[in-house]
A and B are shown apart, each in its own frame.
Chain A
Amino acid sequence: MKRKIILAVAVILCFVLQSTVFQALSFASIAPNLLIVLTASLGFMRGRKEGMLVGFFSGLLLDIFFGSVLGFYALLYMYVGYINGFFQKIFFPEDIKLPIILLSASDVACNLFVYFFQFLFRKKFAFSYYLFHIIIPELVYTILVMIFQYFIILKVNQKLEAEEKRGAAKFV
């Protein structure tokens, strides 16, 4: 129960910060993507189910407030969380390489899908422009923010897991 509340608070916090503070702090109208970092890290820390649910609700929020079609981001973020869940088996908290690769790949993949479905389908073929002016700048900025955000998520998750273990031990 506690975990669910904390997850909900984390999604809300990331969404609110991303749509207000980080839009004001944007460089050359590029802002980082906090929700994808949250979704992907919970995916590989906690497994497919949790990543999927966090992704679904994060995406749904984006759809309600900013999307043109309801459900598009929900679907996209849900699959990002789910696919990251497969890497839970090879994830170790001490190793920073895998999270950075996974989080970056998630951000790029997400943007590629947005480009594919919402720009390419409207005959906007200048892919290299969008790659170098939207996707890569966003990736760089997201990596900068991700380093802090990832460690906060990691610490909170470890604390929660330790607490849950103690709670489980009591019942045995």
Chain B
Amino acid sequence: MKRKSKFKIPSKYLLMGLTIIAGTLIYVSLTMNLSGGPLNTVAGYVFVPMQQGINHVGSWLKDKTDNLKNLKDVMSENQKLKEQVHSLTLELNTIKLEQYELDNLRELLDLDQKYPSYEKVAANVIGKDAGNWFSTFTIDKGSKDGIDVDMNVLAGSGLVGIVTDVGPNYAKIRSIIDDTSKISGMLLTTSDRCIVHGDLQEMNENQNILFNNLKDSDNEANVGDPVVTSYISDKYLQGILIGYINTIEVDSNNLTKSGTITPVVDFEHIEAVLVILDKKQSGQEESK
């Protein structure tokens, strides 16, 4: 039909070859926890500029329509006030935590742990998971800006998620509402720990995330209590606000409680995030 074909691989052998390649990739990334490596670099340089471009056009258009409605001034003021609220909430949480720790550890003078103001870098969201099953997204800053795997990501005063993969100019983030996300959380009021995990069904229906294994033997946890990341988590820094308890009920074992948490971050409309450049020192690396 065409010119003399040079050399053609029959499609079933090609299928077999590619299946083996994909299978090896799955095996390797599952067992050795490897990410794309050079693939990340190439893909990052090709796609990130395009996604950034589209998002710039999108936000420009959005800006213009806002202008038309003469709402821009009000909105920027609102934005500023919201930022102020976020920073104040964050400050308040830190103070509450410090107070709690002060009360508990006053006698242990040698343990002078503080909540340092972490170094952060701001980034824009450039792409969201193309499927409908998971809540991962990409941002426009990567290892060139100092971002590394396992760094915590905030928006406003609340926890958004964690960096799971980086390329030179982009980073992949798994949000806390993702079905596979699990965080060790803690109630600020009683300092009881629980496990906070995302759930697709609960998120779709009520915009909430779940928690369980809350050991609240004194029966002091109430609806509306703030939940922060706990001190035993090995990846999340301590004391970042996750959300507020929405419902709470006693499990059938009568020992633990579970329920739902309303996250403080509006995950439908995340545009900009802050990445904390400090990683939690879990002590494992030092022993290596």
Residues of A within 8 Å of B43, CB to CB, are: 61, 64-65
Question: Residue-by-residue, is B1-42 near A (CB-CB < 8 Å gives 1, otherwise 0)?
Answer: 111000000010011001101111110111000111001100
Contact A82 B50 (CB under 8 A): no
**Beyond A19-B127, A19-B128, is A75–B51 a contact (Cβ under 8 Å)?**
no
Contact A65 B25 (CB under 8 A): no
Contact B58 A134 (CB under 8 A): no
Determine the distance from Cα of A42 to Cα of B136 in the docked complex, in whole angstroms.
28
Residues of A within 8 Å of B47, CB to CB, are: 12, 15-16, 61, 65
Q: Report A8-48 residues with CB < 8 Å from chain B CB.
A: 12, 15-21, 23-24, 28-31, 33, 35, 47-48
Contact B130 A71 (CB under 8 A): no
Q: What total of chain B residues lie within 8 Å of the partner, measured CB to CB?
A: 52
- Shortest Cβ distance from B273 into chain A, in angstroms? 16
Q: Report B122-161 residues with CB < 8 Å from chain A CB.
A: 126-134, 136-138
**Beyond A70-B36, A171-B3, is A119–B133 a contact (Cβ under 8 Å)?**
yes
Determine the distance from Cα of A50 to Cα of B19 in the docked complex, in whole angstroms.
15
A158 at the interface (CB under 8 A from B): no
B180 at the interface (CB under 8 A from A): yes
User: Residue B138 contacts which of A35, A66, A85 (CB distance < 8 angstroms)?
Assistant: A66
Determine the distance from Cα of A69 to Cα of B127 in the docked complex, in whole angstroms.
18
User: Residue A52 contacts which of B11, B40, B200 (CB distance < 8 angstroms)?
Assistant: B11
Q: What is the interface residue range for chain A against chain B?
A: 35 or more
Determine the distance from Cα of A97 to Cα of B268 in the docked complex, in whole angstroms.
36
- The A/B interface has a contact count, at CB < 8 Å, of 151
CB closest residue in chain B, given A22: B130
- Shortest Cβ distance from B143 into chain A, in angstroms? 15
Contact A69 B39 (CB under 8 A): no
User: Residue B172 contacts which of A16, A47, A65, A164 (CB distance < 8 angstroms)?
Assistant: A65
Contact B180 A71 (CB under 8 A): no
Residues of B within 8 Å of A56, CB to CB, are: 18, 22
User: Residue B29 contacts which of A47, A69, A164 (CB distance < 8 angstroms)?
Assistant: A69
**Beyond A19-B51, A70-B25, A78-B15, is A30–B132 a contact (Cβ under 8 Å)?**
yes
- Shortest Cβ distance from B45 into chain A, in angstroms? 12
Segment of A98-106, A122-130, A148-156 in the binding face: A122-130
Contact A33 B130 (CB under 8 A): yes
User: Residue B22 contacts which of A29, A78, A119 (CB distance < 8 angstroms)?
Assistant: A78
B54 at the interface (CB under 8 A from A): yes
- Shortest Cβ distance from A142 into chain B, in angstroms? 10
Determine the distance from Cα of A47 to Cα of B137 in the docked complex, in whole angstroms.
33
Q: Report B152-177 residues with CB < 8 Å from chain A CB.
A: 164, 170, 172, 174
A114 at the interface (CB under 8 A from B): yes
Residues of A within 8 Å of B254, CB to CB, are: none
Residues of B near any A CB (own CB < 8 A)? 1-3, 11, 14-15, 18-19, 21-26, 28-30, 34-36, 39-40, 43, 46-47, 50-51, 54-55, 58, 126-134, 136-138, 164, 170, 172, 174, 179-180, 200-201, 204, 268
5 CB < 8 A contacts A-B: A16-B51, A61-B47, A65-B130, A70-B29, A85-B11
Residues of A near any B CB (own CB < 8 A)? 12, 15-21, 23-24, 28-31, 33, 35, 47-49, 52-53, 56, 60-66, 68-72, 74-75, 78, 82, 85, 111, 114-115, 118-119, 122, 124, 126, 129-130, 133-134, 137-138, 164, 168, 171
Those 7 A-B pairs whose CB atoms lie nearest each other, nearest first? A71-B25, A19-B127, A75-B22, A70-B29, A71-B26, A23-B128, A49-B11
